[in-house]
Chains A and B, each alone.
Chain A
């Protein structure tokens, strides 16, 4: 895990993934560098979420995929200790907010104060919701808490799968400000349908269509 800056920390060669007869990722080759903030765009079914799940070690695949030089399927704990993830849809976890925070503290070895700090900035007062089951929070509150868990950790990779989908405009603004200020040494991959929202944060745009990269462009505005 001792990667130099600007070295690829995610290296993908000829990656393919299909479900039954449907090819979702088609012989994809790409490298992601440690200081890159990547907008991963494309229509529904383009393969964005599948690519993220491959990086998280949740799918088997053909081809080669290294994260920190390790295999995401075999070395998952070591890799995932360095990845913060926000899913597209918050899962219906039945733990209370308090229990979930303690679970996160122990699993990720992070102080709860870090999560609470971020959530407070996003406008979520954790203390008032500690005893509510997570799944009973509103969509926006759930998303804010998951964002806090991802950003509160000091990780080397942030994978954000449409993180602003459930957020109100004010929270979106704060989220993007937080992302902009986040460590420059962290690889950030933001999957989104709305390029206009994230154009000020990212320095690389990758567009996918039918499992292939159809556009890969470095930006110089950040």
Chain B
């Protein structure tokens, strides 16, 4: 009985169908090759043999990988996901799919789950591939760092998926959804350090406010968490990271950096689903 429920669950079926459609898209392969290729290029250019401020070997490679992920992943998730719900609505795919015995929530969370898997698995495989290859070439594999970075990647992808699905569910057109996603990304990037520093200097904000602003920005949280295990001098961090780590303990911050983006993504996802199932779907 449980197996029957599982195989006929609309969420599972929509997820399954969406994964298959994603695997056929050029976006997915470009993205996968980009991350896999990036790791290969880093190995071939000898990045594991270089040393900068204490980063060496695979740790150096992983930190660089995460810095690249921070730049690419949010905008990739936003741009490719914001079209999913509103795109299905505009192309009448939704009219047809939701004429079948599929629940609204099953449809929404099925697409969400599919997108999570097709976004997370390629970066995870690239990171895992680096660790396995490093181990094969007798490099020390920092498994604690690997685990932390995998969790941070999953957490950040989940967060931006929730935000993207929300934008997609409430937008009336794909153009509007993409524009909104792009503006949001620019704002989050701008608030990493530039605007924060400006506010700090011009408005003479207290450190607590700067920390608060930094910690609600998932990009800032990710960026700080990536470097938190290293760099005791805090020299490579931006101003916001410096203030944050000066105030809270590293252990606390790592927990926060994994849990907060997941909660934020779940919250946006919940609101997205709420709008989706209570409004006209076409």
Contacts and interface: CB of A to CB of B under 8 A. Distances in A.
A99 B95 contact: no
Interface stretch (A105-113, A162-170, A192-200): A105-113
A95 B99 CA distance: 17
Which of A58, A83, A89, A90 gathers the greatest number of chain B CB atoms within 10 Å? A58
Contacts, number: 78
A127 B185 CA distance: 46
A45 to B, nearest CB: 15
Contact of A58 (B17, B25, B91, B280): B280
Interface string B243-267: 0000000000000000000000000
A209 B153 CA distance: 55
Interface string B215-240: 00000000000000000000000000
Contact of A76 (B16, B103, B280, B282): B103
Interface in B15-46: 16-17, 20-21, 24-25
A93 B282 CA distance: 16
Contacts of A60: 278-280
Given A99-B20, A109-B8, A59 B282 contact: yes
Interface residues of A, number: 31
Interface string A52-74: 01001111100000000000000
A133 B24 CA distance: 10
Contacts of A80: 99-102
Interface string A145-179: 01000000000000100000000000000000000
20 contacts: A58-B95, A58-B98, A58-B280, A59-B282, A60-B280, A76-B98, A76-B104, A85-B96, A87-B96, A87-B99, A89-B92, A92-B93, A99-B20, A103-B13, A104-B100, A106-B8, A106-B13, A108-B100, A108-B101, A109-B8
Interface of A: 53, 56-60, 76-78, 80-81, 83, 85, 87, 89-95, 99, 103-104, 106-109, 133, 146, 159
